[in-house]
Amino acid sequence: MQLTRQQLIMLILLTLVWGFNWPVMKLGVADFPPLTFRAISIWLGVPVLGLALVVMKVPFFIPRERFRELFWLAFANMFVWHVLVILAVKQLSSGRAAILGYTMPIFSALLGAWFFGNRLKARSWLGVAAAALGVSLLLWHELTALTGRPVAVVCALIGAATWALGTHKLRNTTMPVATLTISFWMTVMTGVVLGVLSALFEMPQWKAPSTSTWGAIAYNAVLIFGFAHAAWYFLARSLPPVASTLSVMMIPILGVFSGAVWLGEVLHWQDWAAVVLMVVAIASVLAPSRAAAK
């Protein structure tokens, strides 16, 4: 299979936007409540996404009988992921959170084999083992370090696994509406959920965002919720799994090294080893076989 030029450009932009967002998020929640940061970013991103629908003349309408399916798509693709990952970013380095968060393709491969009829080859199982070893290294460092945050590690992994399930559900949906419409309403619903959770748990911490926090909010509003999520859902729904997850291969690497350069995050040997193992794992799952290439 060959990607069109438009699809390839979208994958490259998606990789860059999501990869660099990990240190951006870390900067945004450094002295600001994380759920509130996410909620503000989403609600400022909704008009951007809505404007895209208007310009592209995509209808907003979703049939009432599809509301329940839409809710569960939003739950699996966005609710759990955005809550747990932003809490993990608050506690972990941006690079480590990126590595853990983008174990999603490995969970996707396992869920596909167990529940969606996809057979895993020997090299895919090798990739799963490499990912497990990489996560174990990170978890071991968190458990042994005095300032470790093992709960944050678990949150990132649960978020990744739930997102993987959501991706499969999105690929298999028969909802007769545009992917951009689904993305818009999932984003709106996620904004409501994050807003409620922020009010329940973070209201005493509410304050005016600093200049750096506003910059991070703007980045997330325009590039993440206004572009990246819609682009990802389009690719996940319209392309085979290998093609739709190509961009994921470089995102945690960008997250690790951009965090080290911009935020001065110290890289331990576990991080370097985990990066190598994750690349091996994801490549083993996503790279086409020789037979497919021929």
Tokens of 193: 């959920």
d(CA 255, CA 268): 15
Q: Tell me which residue of 251, 243, 262, 292 sits closest to 104, measured CA to CA.
A: 251
- What's the pLDDT at 142? 63
Q: What is the pLDDT of residues 67-95, one digit of tens each?
A: 999 999 999 999 999 999 999 999 988 88
**Higher-pLDDT residue of 45, 128:** 45
Domain containing residue 150: 5-293
Tokens of 288: 């086409």
Tell me the torsion sign for CA atoms 47, 51, 52, 58: positive
For the segment 268-279, the average pLDDT, to the nearest whole number, is 81
Tokens of 241: 């799994």
Model confidence pTM above 0.85: yes
d(CA 170, CA 78): 12
Token look-up 């086409």 returns: 288
Contact 216, 27 (CB under 8 A): yes
Q: Tell me which residue of 131, 167, 185 sits closest to 240, measured CA to CA.
A: 167
Token look-up 């509410």 returns: 206
Q: Tell me which residue of 178, 141, 163 sits closest to 83, measured CA to CA.
A: 163
Tokens of 19: 């990869």
For the segment 245-249, the average pLDDT, to the nearest whole number, is 61
The enclosing H or E element of 257 equals: helix 251-263
- With cut-offs at 50, 70 and 90, classify the pLDDT of residue 29: very high
Burial level of 105, CB count in 10 A (0-12/13-18/19+)?
A: buried
Q: What is the pLDDT of residues 195-238, one digit of tens each?
A: 999 999 999 999 999 999 999 999 999 999 999 999 888 888 77
Contact 88, 152 (CB under 8 A): yes
d(CA 142, CA 129): 20
* For residue 292, pLDDT beyond 60: no
DSSP codes of every residue in 126-147: HHHHHHHHHHHHHHHHHHHSTT
For the segment 19-24, the average pLDDT, to the nearest whole number, is 94
**Higher-pLDDT residue of 237, 158:** 158
* For residue 147, pLDDT beyond 60: no
Tell me the torsion sign for CA atoms 114, 118, 121, 125: negative
For the chain, the domain total comes to 1
d(CA 97, CA 64): 37
d(CA 283, CA 278): 8
